[in-house]
Structure formats: structure tokens, C-alpha cells
Chains A and B, each alone.
Chain A
């Protein structure tokens, strides 16, 4: 790990201003992703700004009947919240499908959204990776590469990594928005469907955040009801990242919403695919995954996604 200096921020605007002022500074929240990457020198901040005590650890209702989730609310506290369990069940389900009890006690809402990919070549500094070193090449697309876990849609010729978060898939299906404070002290609201950037030629740019911008909260619109579920398929029953996951909200009349995890650089949702829900899983997936570009190792994810959704619909 590289040496770094350290400071504690007591409020978000101050943290954002400092982050913009100090070159090479980064925020740290739970630390469960950033520290992991710093140990491997994939992340090399020279200054850490601890934002865990910035007063952003509360869940409250919004004037419009929705929910505001502070950026520093832990994954455990969010999943266990009575309102979330009752009105946004898909979020509790997705959170509890991720990581372990110990990690969820530290992982925060903002940190979870900004966790970086689990592509094995991103983690291996001896291998070329465009996300880690722009222009270096992509080891995942090399001959004999292991791409089983990687993306099948929304990817590009420069990067086929997925976004690993379970929580983000549920937030996407719930139409969440991200609230931020910029270094100049202004507030911004970014809908989650505009928050992540597809890789294109610049896989190192992952979100719409500007340098120094701090996430202060995630907001949810009023509850939409319906039967809410999250099904995650992985290589072991617990404590593993998704091969494919499906967040589903089904209403009585057969309409609803679907988003996928484990397949793309962002939680994958397309409204035109949801319109086909009354026609079943194949109809949905032929729209949601239309034009997918899997590798030979991960083409199975297409079938897996379809069958996972079919099983979930059959339970209803």
C-alpha cells in the first residue's frame, strides 16, 4: 500500500471542497472496497478523507412520500429498516444477497454504488487492463482468457467488465435517484439510470460524478407495491458475486419491472422489455438482452437470465 495522509470530514460540503483541492485525494467510507484495492495498489490515493462521520447515516421519509437514504447508512441498517422491508422488499432482498454479515455492517450506500468491478484482470496488476491503465489493452479479451463472470451486454471492445453491486440492481428497479454535493457546494440529483457510464472507449470513467463530488443520499419515490423479489445465481450459495441476478416487481395485472445484475457495466434495465412481462420470460429477455455480445465462456448467462426470470414468474 502507498503512504497517504488522512483527515476526518464532519460535513459533506467541506469534504467535497477538500477532495477537489487536494490532488490524489479520495473519500473513504466503510473502506471494504477501497482498502482492498489500495493493498493491491490498484487504487493509490495520497490523501484519504474519512466521510463516515458526516451526519449522513439516517433514513427519513421525503415530502413526496418516498424515502431518503443517507449515503453513510450501512447495508445492514438499510436492509433491516422496517419501512424498507415493508415497502421496498426488493432492496432488502438484494442487500442481503450481497457480501457477508461482517462486510454489510461496514459497507455504506454510497460505497456500495461506487464499488469497482470484480474482473479478475482488473485485480491482477501484471495483466493489461484498460480500466486500470487506459490504453493498455484488455486481458479479458485475450486468447484463453477467463471471461465466465464478465459482461454480455453494454460492454465494448475495450472492456467487458460488469458492475458487481446487488444493491444497485434493486435501486434501479425502484427508480432511485442519487443526491450529491459538488465541490462548489451546489446540490445535484442524478437519476440512477444516468449515474453509470457504459465503457465505450473510456472504461476508466464509470459514473457521472465530477471530481470531488460527494454522494449525500439516495432517494426512492413513493412505494409502488407489487410482489418484489431478487434472485441471485452464483457459484456457491452465499458470499459470492452474481453470475446473473434478477430484480423483479410484479403487479396483480401482470405488468411490472425487471432489472439484471451480473451481465453489464451497470444495473441492466430497459423499459421496452418490461412491457413484455405479461408474455413471459422469453419475451422479456429477447428485448432486454437483444444484441448481446457474450464471449464463448459467458454466453450461458443469456439462458441463465431467461430461466431465472421464468422461475421467478412461475412462483408468483
Chain B
């Protein structure tokens, strides 16, 4: 038998008991955080290059890239699932890299090239990844799909660029687009309908089409 690790259970110590105490305790924080005035304007102008077209915007500084796309440019293909980086529905490509547009401020994207689902293909001529999702039923309700497709395209590029992942065994070898690699790399896109198996098939088809 190995010796036990010595520890002592922490006692429940102290908790503010009543709701009023909680509210009271919140007051100083709110007061401290509220200064007299802002240093400059609370709004800005920014130019984004969205799907190849320069778009000037006058926005509140708080506007996320996601809200700029949806509410200001009316490109509603990009979806808001959680608004906290936890689902991937808002995935777009910025300067060739996939990001969560909900956790990025539009004012921080001056001059950036943003590609959304609207910029990938047309109903007449789908992008190979869009076609693959159709061919394999890579969706049910379709809400997560724009994010899945934008992410999937970036995943194949990341594999071609030999960017490692959590499941890459040999960090110095060439990386293959295996089931395991694709699943791990797509973990930032949640599908509430559970279309994962078909999404995987779709990505394999698109991957084959590109080589």
C-alpha cells in the first residue's frame, strides 16, 4: 500500500446570508467602477472588407464583429448562439483565420478581410464545402451550419499548413486529415441537433475534392 496523501477537508466557512447583504455588497463595486466620464467618444468609425467589399460603419464601440455583420450589414447568415465563445455558431474568417465573431470588437478590425458564409458560394454555384454538407445531410435545423462550414474550411487549411492539434501524436510529422484530427479541430462548433457524423463525412468529401 502506498502512503496516503495528507489533506484536510475544507470547512464551509463564510457566506453572506441574505439577498440584501449581497445587493449592499455590490454597491461599492458599482460605484468604484463608474468614473466621471469617458476619455473619448463611445463610438467610432471603422472600415471592414466584407466578402471582398469595403464597408464603412459608424458604430458604438461595444459592437461586436458579429453584431456589426448581422445588425449593421444585415448579413444574417452568421449566427449568434451563445454570444460567449462557447458554441462556434458565429465563426467567420478574418484575414484567412477562423475566429468567434462574438468575442471580437468590430473597432478592432479596421481594414480586415472578413469572409462570412454569404461570401463562400452562390445558390447556383456552391462552395465545395457547402455542396458536401448538402450531399451528406450535414445538418438538421441548420442553425449551426454557417459556423460549421466556415470552421470546416479553415480546418482543412490548418491541416495543410501543418498546424498541430491536441490529438496530433508526432509534432514533427506531416498531419493527415483523419477522423480523429477533424473531430478534435471541429470541437469548437457545437451542433445541438447532433449532426456530427454527417458533418465529418462532408468534411472528408471536401477534403478529397481539394487534393
The yes or no verdict on A and B being binding partners is yes
Residues of A participating in the B interface, judged by any CB pair closer than 8 Å? 1-7, 22-25, 28, 30-32, 35-36, 39, 44, 46-48, 50, 52, 76, 79-80, 85-86, 89, 92-93, 96-97, 99-103, 105-106, 125-128, 132-133, 135-139, 141-143, 152, 155, 157-158, 160, 237-239, 282, 285-286, 289-296, 299, 302, 306
Using Cβ atoms and an 8 Å threshold, which residues of chain A touch B189? 100
A289 and B5 within 8 A (CB): yes
Interface locus among B31-39, B126-134, B135-143, B203-211: B31-39
* Interface pairs (22), CB distance under 8 Å: A4-B62, A5-B40, A28-B108, A32-B85, A35-B64, A36-B84, A44-B33, A47-B38, A48-B61, A80-B163, A100-B100, A136-B22, A137-B14, A138-B13, A155-B10, A282-B5, A291-B8, A292-B7, A293-B8, A294-B7, A294-B9, A295-B9
Which of these binds chain A: B49-57, B116-124, B165-173, B191-199? B165-173
C-alpha gap A152/B99 in the complex (Å): 34
Q: Assuming A5-B41, A44-B33, A238-B166, is B15 touching A293 (CB within 8 A)?
A: no
Closest 6 interchain pairs by CB?
A: A100-B188, A238-B187, A137-B16, A136-B25, A142-B15, A5-B40
By beta carbon, the residue of chain B nearest A288 is B5
- Answer whether A3 and B38 are a contact pair too, CB < 8 Å, given A96-B166, A138-B14, A290-B6: yes
**A residues in contact with B7, CB < 8 Å:** 152, 289-294, 299, 302
Chain B residues close to A by CB (< 8 Å): 2-10, 12-16, 21-22, 25-26, 28-29, 33-35, 38-42, 44, 60-62, 64, 83-85, 88, 91, 97-100, 103-105, 107-108, 151, 154-155, 158, 161-166, 168, 171-172, 183-185, 187-189
Q: Check B166–A128 contact: CB distance below 8 A.
A: no
B183: chain A residues at CB < 8 Å are: 238
Tell me, in angstroms, the Cα distance from A137 to B103 when the chains sit together.
30
Are A142 and B12 in contact, CB atoms less than 8 angstroms apart?
yes
Query: Contacts of B26 on A, CB cut-off 8 Å?
Result: 125, 133, 136
- B165: min CB distance to chain A, Å: 6
Q: Report yes or no: A35 in contact with B25, Cβ–Cβ below 8 A.
A: no
**Given B16, B103, B161, which contacts A31 in the complex, CB threshold below 8 Å?**
B103
Q: Given A103-B85, A141-B15, A238-B187, are A6 and B107 also a contact pair (CB < 8 Å)? A: yes
Complex Cα spacing A49 to B71, Å: 25
How far does the alpha carbon of A113 sit from the alpha carbon of B188 in the complex, in Å?
A: 21
- Report whether A100 and B88 are in contact in the complex, using a CB–CB cutoff of 8 Å: yes
CB <8 Å contact, B39 and A96? no
Point out the residues of chain A lying under 8 angstroms from B164, CB to CB: 79-80, 85, 92, 96
Within 8 Å CB of B61, what residues of A?
3-6, 48
- Asked if B6 and A32 make an inter-chain contact with CB atoms under 8 angstroms apart, the answer reads no
Given A92-B164, A96-B166, also A35-B39 (CB < 8 A): no
Residues of A within 8 A of B100 (CB): 32, 100, 102-103, 106
Complex contact B10–A293 (CB within 8 A): yes
Q: Are the CB atoms of A5 and B39 closer together than 8 Å?
A: yes
- Pair B42/A292 contact, Cβ less than 8 Å: no
With a CB–CB cut-off of 8 A, which chain A residues contact B14? 137-138, 141, 157-158
For A155, list chain B residues within 8 Å (CB): 10
Closest residue on chain A to residue B65 by CB atoms: A31
Q: How far is the CB of A137 from chain B (nearest CB, A)?
A: 4
Taken together as a complex, chains A and B put the C-alpha atoms of A80 and B158 apart, in Å, by 10
Which chain B residues border A125 with CB–CB below 8 Å?
A: 26
Q: How far is it, in angstroms, between the C-alpha of A291 and the C-alpha of B85 when the chains are bound?
A: 36
Contact B163–A76 (Cβ < 8 Å): yes
Residue contact B172 to A85, C-beta cutoff 8 Å: yes
Q: Are B3 and A286 in contact (CB under 8 A)?
A: yes
Q: A86-B172, A102-B100, A136-B25 known; A6 and B40 CB under 8 Å?
A: yes
Give CA–CA (A235, B211) in the complex, Å.
36
Q: How close is B13's CB to chain A, nearest CB, in angstroms?
A: 5
Which residues on A sit within 8 Å (CB–CB) of B172? 85-86
> Is there an interface contact between A97 and B166, defined as CB atoms closer than 8 Å?
yes
Q: In the complex the two chains form, is A5's CB within 8 Å of B42's CB?
A: yes
